[in-house]
A and B are shown apart, each in its own frame.
Chain A
Amino acid sequence: GENVGLHLPTLSVQEGDNSIINCAYSNSASDYFIWYKQESGKGPQFIIDIRSNMDKRQGQRVTVLLNKTVKHLSLQIAATQPGDSAVYFCAVLTSGTSYGKLTFGQGTILTVHP
């Protein structure tokens, strides 16, 4: 099976700081990873993804790093803004799941103070 966990359930930062949210997974056959953002009262929104043949991918103000050796991925948010306050989930897709089964982590609550 797949266990997906997060090192910290909450993270508080000041506006303008960089934020790093971590996620660990257990199945070495996992080959696709997604970060979702969930604002209060809303459904999860896709932020960025990365495949197992990459170790880094950048988006707008966000970077995902993948370390397959230790089965760890992180989401870095540059110049964090109050609008970034939300719960962040990592989700993992394991090879061979034809229906695209994602295993979700429990989430990290990011709070950005002005």
Chain B
Amino acid sequence: NAGVTQTPKFRVLKTGQSMTLLCAQDMNHEYMYWYRQDPGMGLRLIHYSVGEGTTAKGEVPDGYNVSRLKKQNFLLGLESAAPSQTSVYFCASKPNLGRGGLEQFFGPGTRLTVL
């Protein structure tokens, strides 16, 4: 199993550009999450999904959109990138409560710089 994978690993954008970050998991997990990690602030939840076709806002959703058209994929979109969105983005997944533990499994991250 590859676990949780993220594409791309690095990206540099100019202010106002758009992009999509792709997260894929091959563990058949129901729950998927997008976090951002900034220095001194830990991980903050942007959006999450409890199953295919469903998404919901986390703590810091502004400026981002997500889609979960397939169970194994969770896409994070930036419609008009801003320098404040410079961060490292992590995707995570976990199974339903009945099928496993409560820990989340993380991808390797995408480092995004917005100039």
Which residue numbers of A lie inside 8 Å of B, CB to CB?
Answer: 4, 32, 34, 36, 41-46, 49, 89, 91, 93, 98-102, 104-107
Contact = CB atoms under 8 A, between A and B. Distances in A.
Interface in B83-115: 90, 92, 94, 97, 101-109
Interface string B59-84: 00000000000000000000000000
A99 B31 contact: yes
A42 B41 CA distance: 17
B43 A104 contact: yes
Given A41-B109, A43-B92, A101-B48, 11 more contacts: A32-B102, A34-B103, A42-B108, A42-B109, A49-B101, A49-B102, A89-B43, A98-B50, A99-B56, A100-B97, A104-B43
Contacts of A102: 43, 45, 104
Interface residues of B, number: 25
23 contacts: A4-B42, A36-B106, A41-B109, A42-B108, A43-B106, A43-B109, A44-B43, A45-B106, A46-B103, A46-B105, A49-B103, A89-B42, A93-B102, A99-B31, A99-B56, A100-B94, A100-B97, A100-B104, A101-B58, A104-B43, A104-B44, A106-B40, A107-B42
